[in-house]
Structure 1
């Protein structure tokens, strides 16, 4: 049995919204593809084929930035890429000097274009879903699971410039780079939402994004679901060109050693999942939400002896919240215990004299691979 999305009273209509907390760099030059291939956790085809989702890793294998990369040739006709990232202050080094450190003699140019463009997302219409295909997965014994795209699909993220099919989860729609002061064409046919509408949409689909959900210098890519979302495809089948060349393993890149070790010999014991927030006290009006990065503790119920009951060791972390739902980094054994009814997941307000408390009910998004949602962690 797997925990599925609770009934949240949502009527989905086609919507478009500006994505919050995103900035853009533009990288181009005769060696742009080769340069990105050396620093990203995903393989970058040369010449460019299309946009994709990826991540920059620290040398110790922790995430620095989760990024979207959009293709856009420069005026000389050379490969160029917009790199979309979360610019909020964090423990990670600023991304522009970080990338310039690796340029050396590479024939590339990088500039900040955040003042020229915004990032938008559109979802919910047939236009944004008619390219979706049934998901297939490549699982490893460690618990790492990566998507495998069908052989008749030449590039899963699309091929349009400055536009990307968001394949992190089924139903996410697409992302677009739009000049500041303008709106995408979908604004005339979709409901215009605010940034909270987008946040609610991605939480519903179990998609972590940015520094709140994937804390730089702290988060591991697999625990942050980057493998499932196709952002760390070191070992999955990846289709590169019209000849359907496949690459099963990527060569050297920053953070490779620990990522490889986890894939082969490690064990993924935590995952980010969506949760429904329930306020423990009866209240009128809209109840408060716990602050992000609050500790989540597992409280074992019916403490009578049972060899199969989970141990309430460790804690989880609450991540992005929006209204009555959130994302949370949880131990898989605690998720399984909650599914069986052996425990409840709670957040207590630190230092609150009234003992404010929230209960969290996790669920597995319907699109997730069965090998994860039915997995038993020892």
Structure 2
């Protein structure tokens, strides 16, 4: 990772650090100043805020199957999959992207959560033939979007993954198709530092080099939430639409919090969901409470993820009481900036 970060600095990358105790490096932008508009298409963004846990051993899949909200034992080698890790109370400790490798299973999650989640999982390995290691330093992750990205990636992956969360492998690494954002295809390339350094000049001939904001904004537009330190143990998966985007399997059997997650699914109409909104504000951070003007004394939800679209506007995913969304909703307090709700790219369906 150090080699890769040094290379990016030579390319004009400007870095900061997160406010968490882990002090995770953040790639802010390339060049002396951040542009007023966050790129939406035809960009390549180094994703250095995410980490990787590699699970290996004969019983690694079985162990993770017993811990996560999704089916790990039947994970196809040609696909990635969303999964959650819950507390015994059914609240999400982490949201993950998982996929098979030649040696086992890879789990991707924010670096600020990685150490604590890995330590917690390790506590439950017990006698299982499974090993968990931090694989972040051995991998580089790039987020790419747009028609130009689809074209240039064919130099390394002649056949691009077509379906959402399909995965392609080549000598250049792993390529995962992500949900479209802003009407364009997105991919994540997981590779080595050496391969990324070699490919960077070819990528940036046709793609804009961008900071993490471009990829995070695209995730918001595609309606994919991510748990952070500020939102750990705040949500049952359905509260942030996690089952609607393939993150929960209700037939796979037990895992921590499974009874509560299942009960939330089968009790009938859900009263809380995640919505997409935009707001004109100086800032909006995960965990910030939101308030309905019809009931100003108590919060009706909170920000899950947020990213600036331009100098005036922030896009966000917010968890909210659906009844409150029928009135005016404001950020931070009943006197705060107004949230303007936007359509999600998928329907909000109730349990059957």
Q: TM-score, normalising length from structure 2?
A: 0.72
Deviations 1:164-196 (A, max 9, x none): 222497856222223246528582543221111
Unpaired segments ≥5 residues, structure 2: 1-36, 152-159
2:304–2:319 Cα contact (<8 Å) kept: yes
1:158 equivalent among 160, 167, 172: 167
Q: Would you say 1:115 and 2:137 are equivalent positions?
A: yes
Distance 1:348 1:259, change over 3 A: closer
Q: Would you say 1:230 and 2:220 are equivalent positions?
A: no
Distance 1:348 1:27, change over 3 A: closer
Q: Answer 1 or 2: which has greater strand percent.
A: 2
Q: Would you say 1:202 and 2:215 are equivalent positions?
A: no
Trace 1:340-359 onto structure 2 (pairs within 5 A). 343-348=327-332, 357-359=336-338
Bigger Rg over Cα? 1
Trace 1:169-184 onto structure 2 (pairs within 5 A). 173-180=186-193, 183=196
- Looking at structure 2, the residues matched to 37 and 43 of structure 1 have their Cα atoms a distance apart, in angstroms, of 6
1:168–1:207 Cα contact (<8 Å) kept: no
Q: Answer 1 or 2: which has greater helix percent.
A: 2
- Looking at structure 1, the residues matched to 216 and 75 of structure 2 have their Cα atoms a distance apart, in angstroms, of 34
Q: What displacement does 1:327 show?
A: 2.0
- Looking at structure 2, the residues matched to 159 and 368 of structure 1 have their Cα atoms a distance apart, in angstroms, of 25
2:255 equivalent among 253, 256, 263: 253
Report runs of 4+ in structure 1 exceeding 4 Å deviation: 9-12, 167-172, 310-314
Aligned length, in residue pairs:
292
Residue 342 of structure 2 aligns with which residue?
363
Trace 1:165-314 onto structure 2 (pairs within 5 A). 165-167=177-179, 173-180=186-193, 183=196, 185=199, 187-188=203-204, 189-211=206-228, 215-234=231-250, 249-278=251-280, 288-300=282-294, 314=299
Deviations 1:115-154 (A, max 9, x none): 2223222222283997248xxxxxxxxxxxxxxxxxxxxx
Residue 319 of structure 2 aligns with which residue?
329
- Looking at structure 2, the residues matched to 362 and 196 of structure 1 have their Cα atoms a distance apart, in angstroms, of 20
Q: What displacement does 1:266 show?
A: 4.7
